[in-house]
Structures are given as structure tokens and as C-alpha cells.
């Protein structure tokens, strides 16, 4: 299995423990190319920890994470990003005192070294790319606005845009619609469908309605382990899942 070449992400036997408490326990998870995969689960199920493990924020106790056949557990965070993994945080994590344009520019994947950044030039190519991304995330009109002044939903999109500009092969989103209005949710769902073309997307979500809108494949986590996995409608009917959600 682990030698499979057509998978974007292959997590095998992944375990992490904090002072003896296993937050993620022998997890196996596979994501195909161009797949939009949603991980759901009650609070404390270990969803965010899984993202932390993939992007290197937390180091695994054991197990392997292979991204396009490259082992990630050995790499530093920035190397994982450069390999093609982008991650959006739960609360919008943008540079509030920079403009939307500058936010995107800072995320532009050139000039990533100290010297490179000192002599980075804002040429036409950069400007063009920024405008293209801004259009995609519906923020073209507010490019020069200081990003602190954006609405909550716009901030979430901006962060997605900051990832998109790096053109990642795997995009990981932690609760992208939390705190959004109904209209914004719909727009976000559209956005997700659009961007999942040509790359794999891993979404963590609470909101079952939203999950129904976007999900192709769903994995249910509970206490660090997989409770159920498969197509959305099947998972929803799984009695174990129902018990966990209702009994919670």
C-alpha cells in the first residue's frame, strides 16, 4: 500500500501522544489526486491534531505520512510547505496590518530566502498572479484595503487565497466556514469545488450541512481513531456515528 504512487497523501499507523494521552492513535488515511476529503468528528476527536501532524507543527510519535511518496515526518514545516502542502488555520490567520495585496504578495512563493526577499521585485508576473488569485477568492475590489478591515468571511477567503498563490498539491482547511453567514457559506462551497480541481483538498468541518454540500469522501474521527469512512450518505447512516454524535 505504502508504495502506491497514485495517492496524494498516505498516512499509515500514525500515533501521537501527549504525556501518555494518545490524541491520534494508529491512524490510516489516504487521499487520492483531485479528491476533496472531509474529516468530521466531535470535539477532541483529534481532527486538528491530524492537520498539525501533516504540516509538521506537531511531531508524530510513530507512523508515517507520505505525500506524493515523500516522507513528511522528517521535514521541517517550511520544507513541507515547499513540497506542496498548504494549510489554513481554524481562525483566520492573515497579516492584519498589511493590505490584501501585500498579504498575497508576502505569500507569493518567490523570494523565500533572506537574500531573495531583500531583492524581491514586484514585476508584472507577480501583479498578474495576485490579481488572478484575488479574482478567484472574490477580493479583487478590496486589494488595497488593510486586511484588518475585511469581514470575517473575507478574511477566511484571503487566507485560502494566500495558500492558492503557492499552488499546493494538497490544500488543508481547518473549519473554513466557521462564523460565516449563509451566503458566504454558499460562496465558500463554490470556491472549494472550484479550487479542488487539479489538487487534493482535505477539509475539517463541524457543520454537517456544509459537509453535505461539498463532500465526496468522509472520514469520521473519534478519540483519535477512525470510526467510519466512505461516501457521505453511507457514513451518515452508520449507527456508530449516530451514537457518537447524539450521545455526545
Q: Which is nearer to another protein, 105 or 184 (CB)?
A: 105
- Among the listed residues 240, 203, 223, the one whose alpha carbon sits nearest the alpha carbon of residue 31: 203
Consecutive H or E run containing 101 = helix 100-107
CA separation for the pair 238, 225 (Å, rounded): 16
Residue 116, helix vs strand vs coil: helix
Going by C-alpha positions, the residue among 179, 218, 188, 243 that lies closest to residue 47 is: 218
Q: In the complex, what is the shortest distance from the CB of residue 111 to another protein, in angstroms, rounded to a whole number? A: 5
- Rounded CA Rg of the chain: 18
Contact of 103 with 94, CB cutoff 8 Å? yes
Q: How far is the CB of 81 from another protein (least distance, A)?
A: 4
In sign, the C-alpha dihedral spanning 20, 24, 27, 32 is negative
Considering the complex, what minimum distance in angstroms separates the CB of residue 94 from another protein?
7
C-alpha cell at 1: 500500500
- Rounded least distance, CB 130 to another protein, Å: 10
Q: Which residues bind another protein (CB under 8 A)?
A: 18-19, 21, 23, 49, 55, 57-58, 76-78, 81-82, 86-87, 89, 93-99, 101-102, 105-107, 109, 111-114, 117-120, 143-144, 148, 159, 162, 166
Closest distance between another protein and the C-beta of residue 36, in Å? 20
Amino acid at each position: 500500500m505504502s508504495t502506491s504512487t497514485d495517492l496524494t497523501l498516505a498516512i499509515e499507523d500514525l500515533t501521537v501522544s501527549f504525556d501518555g494521552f494518545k490524541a491520534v492513535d494508529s491512524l490510516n488515511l489516504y487521499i487520492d489526486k483531485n479528491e476533496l476529503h472531509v474529516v468530521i468528528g466531535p470535539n477532541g476527536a483529534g481532527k486538528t491534531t491530524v492537520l498539525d501532524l501533516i504540516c509538521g507543527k506537531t511531531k508524530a510519535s510513530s507512523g508515517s505520512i507520505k505525500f506524493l511518496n515523500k516522507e513528511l515526518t522528517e521535514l521541517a514545516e517550511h520544507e513541507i510547505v515547499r513540497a506542496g502542502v498548504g494549510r489554513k488555520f481554524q481562525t483566520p490567520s492573515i497579516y492584519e496590518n498589511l493590505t490584501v495585496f501585500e498579504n498575497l504578495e508576502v505569500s507569493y512563493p518567490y523570494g523565500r530566502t533572506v537574500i531573495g526577499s531583500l531583492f524581491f521585485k514586484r514585476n508584472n508576473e507577480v501583479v498578474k498572479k495576485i490579481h488572478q488569485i484575488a479574482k478567484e477568492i472574490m477580493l479583487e475590489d478590496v486589494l488595497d484595503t488593510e486586511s484588518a478591515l475585511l469581514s470575517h468571511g473575507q478574511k477566511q477567503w484571503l487566507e485560502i487565497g494566500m495558500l492558492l498563490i503557492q499552488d499546493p498539491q494538497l490544500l488543508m482547511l481547518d473549519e473554513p466556514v466557521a462564523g460565516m453567514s449563509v451566503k458566504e457559506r454558499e460562496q465558500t462551497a463554490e470556491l472549494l469545488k472550484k479550487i479542488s480541481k487539479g489538487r487534493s483538498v482535505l477539509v475539517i468541518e463541524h457543520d454537517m450541512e456544509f459537509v453535505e454540500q461539498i463532500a465526496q469522501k468522509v472520514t469520521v474521527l473519534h478519540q483519535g481513531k477512525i470510526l467510519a469512512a466512505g461516501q457521505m450518505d453511507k457514513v451518515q447512516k452508520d449507527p456508530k456515528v449516530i451514537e457518537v454524535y447524539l450521545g455526545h
